[in-house]
Amino acid sequence: MRCEKSWYVRANMTRKIAFISTVSIKLPREAESEIEIQKDDISIEYKHPVLYVTKYTKNDKDYINIYCGEKTYVLMKIREHTLNAVIPVLKSVLQKYLDGKLVEELEAEIRLYCLMSNIINEIFNKTLRDSIESFKAYLPILLNFDPLLRRELIEPLAKSIAKVTLRENIREYYLKLPGDILSRLSFKSFSEIMMSEIPLESIVNGILSSLKSKDPFADT
């Protein structure tokens, strides 16, 4: 399917994600000279007020950038297996400046959002597949309409199907989350994250590109 090459997200593609942490991290400027770690392919350095955590790979890099201001902002693009290597090094640094419980809380948040980034890709791909199938099921019904009206209906129909399918898949994936995550993440919060990170327009474009043209009835 041509659509698959152009619109589907590769399963191993790492997605950038950001969040505001509930943990307040205020590192002193003096920490710039104290935090400078190179261990294997992991680099941790502090340039006030940002803590940079980087894991270099052969062709790319995974990273966690932590802004230590009035609020703690975290921007990261990291795979789960990389995170498992990075977390012990990051914790060893933060434990010198933060209470152990706060370090554990930050780790839990980072792991949660790493999981979220993977789920976002899965929901996007499933929604695109499901939407294309649903859209094709409506095509025979559109034969009952005037050709000009059909052209006008195709894109709104694709948008409507994409919205409904996305919401259904978000609910389905939420109910599959591990119990420890369900206990700390409400459906409303999960839904807001998914809706803000998954581009509905890309799903609609993927649906339309699965057709030979925007009017699949051009020859009828």
| pLDDT score recorded for residue 3 | 41
| pLDDT score recorded for residue 34 | 94
| pLDDT score recorded for residue 4 | 43
Q: Using 70 as the pLDDT threshold, list the residues of the chain that sit under it.
A: 1-13, 212-220
| pLDDT score recorded for residue 60 | 85
| pLDDT score recorded for residue 217 | 58
* Cα 75–Cα 164–Cα 155 angle in degrees, nearest 5: 95
| pLDDT score recorded for residue 215 | 53
| pLDDT score recorded for residue 146 | 85
b/e per residue, 55-64, with b = 16+ CB within 10 A?
A: beeeeeebbb
| pLDDT score recorded for residue 202 | 93
Q: Which residue has the tokens 């890099």?
A: 61
Residue 165, number of CB atoms within 10 A of its CB:
23
